[in-house]
Amino acid sequence: MTPAITTSLLRIGDFATLSRVSVKMLRHYDTLGLLKPVWVDPESHYRYYSVEQLPRLHQLVALKDLGFNLAQIARLLAGGLDDNQILTLLQAREAELQADITSQQHQLMNLRSHIARFDIEQLDTEQLDAERLDVGRSDPSLDDAVILRGVNTISVASLELAPTADVSEGFVRLESYVSKYHARASSAPLLRYLDTDTLELCVPLSRSITGTDVIQITRLPAIQAASTLHQGGYDNMAEAYSRLTAWLELHNYQLAGPLREVYLRFSAEPIEDQLPAAFLASTSNDYLTELQLPIHMLTS
């Protein structure tokens, strides 16, 4: 009983049929060195495979189905990795996949709240036909002025003030303090409404510096925020605020932190003229302010 298995050679098409992997891909795996044919005719360059290669190919496909890319599969199939290394790769992939799923679930919830909004509008339609004909109406699908966006953590120098205090004087103090250290990051200054009798002015930092009694160095947390823009002077921002709160209710989100006003374009005080020019506006018509309302997504 010698195990004299003399398997016949398969041409690439037959091997493709057997393995249910396309000819194109087999050739690709060959050039990548993932699965070389057992024999290649030196004259015709025809690739010849053997059934013994099916298990390896199936491993390859299985790894692909786990979401590894071909480079990673090459490393895994090459062997020479001990169990711990393999385990690490698997776990890394697990974490990645986990993260992907979470982010897609967020997408899905987001999408559903948009769809829900349509359903509400359709109900309205039935009841409020008369009114609607007059009103005309903005495009309902594309939240005209409010968007949901992620905001990263920001290192800032901050200063707390009473609501009655002079805000721009506070910013001047902050900017001049930060500029002494040459630590000004080139992003927009902002303000947070910590509670009804505290404002917090923030100026982004490019590196860590030390604070003072009143000027604190902190990191603002990353948030998901409902965001809207207000263009023009600061006297009429009520509209933007009501847009935000209406959106919040409609989409069924919950407040998750202090509101932020981000000053995207504004008038520079003399002391602030080291700021990136992109942020400077010449007239109050050009002022641009982003309102960010931090939210939790309700896991419905």
Partner DNA sequence: AGTTGACTCTCCCACGGTGGGAGGGCTTAG
Partner DNA sequence: CTAAGCCCTCCCACCGTGGGAGAGTCAACT
Interface residues with DNA (CB under 7 A)? 11-14, 16, 22-25, 27-28, 41, 43-47, 64, 69-71
Does residue 97 bind its own copies (CB under 8 A)?
Answer: yes
- How far apart CA 216 and CA 159 sit, in angstroms, is 6
If the CB atoms of residues 18 and 250 are measured against DNA, the closer one turns out to be 18
Q: Which of 27, 30, 36, 51 binds its own copies (CB under 8 A)?
A: 51
Q: Where are the alpha helices (DSSP H) in the chain?
A: 12-19, 23-31, 54-65, 70-78, 83-135, 167-180, 238-250
Name the residue among 185, 209, 190 with its Cα closest to residue 201: 190
5: tokens are 């298995």
86: tokens are 């393999």
Does residue 52 bind its own copies (CB under 8 A)?
Answer: yes
Does residue 160 bind its own copies (CB under 8 A)?
Answer: no
Q: Binding partner of residue 47 among its own copies, DNA, none, CB under 5 to 8 Å per kind?
A: DNA
Residue ranges in 280-299 that form contacts with its own copies under rule CB under 8 A: 281-283, 285-286, 288
| Phi and psi, residue 226, nearest 5° | -80, 125
Q: Binding partner of residue 190 among its own copies, DNA, none, CB under 5 to 8 Å per kind?
A: none
If the CB atoms of residues 140 and 257 are measured against its own copies, the closer one turns out to be 140
Tokens 């302010």 appear where? 289
The dihedral through the CA atoms of 107, 108, 112, 115 has a sign that is: positive
For residue 232, the minimal CB distance to its own copies (Å) is 8
- How far apart CA 28 and CA 70 sit, in angstroms, is 10
Does residue 72 bind its own copies (CB under 8 A)?
Answer: no
Does residue 18 bind its own copies (CB under 8 A)?
Answer: yes
If the CB atoms of residues 22 and 245 are measured against DNA, the closer one turns out to be 22
For residue 265, the minimal CB distance to DNA (Å) is 15
**Cβ–Cβ < 8 Å for 132, 94:** no
Number of neighbours of residue 32 by Cβ within 10 angstroms? 13
**Cβ–Cβ < 8 Å for 225, 247:** no
If the CB atoms of residues 28 and 117 are measured against DNA, the closer one turns out to be 28
Q: Binding partner of residue 71 among its own copies, DNA, none, CB under 5 to 8 Å per kind?
A: DNA
If the CB atoms of residues 162 and 277 are measured against its own copies, the closer one turns out to be 277
Q: How far is CA 242 from CA 34, 122, 144, 291, 299, in A?
A: 59, 22, 13, 11, 25
For residue 146, the minimal CB distance to DNA (Å) is 21
For residue 18, the minimal CB distance to DNA (Å) is 11
Does residue 265 bind its own copies (CB under 8 A)?
Answer: yes
The dihedral through the CA atoms of 71, 76, 79, 85 has a sign that is: positive
If the CB atoms of residues 71 and 128 are measured against DNA, the closer one turns out to be 71
Q: Binding partner of residue 172 among DNA, its own copies, none, CB under 5 to 8 Å per kind?
A: none
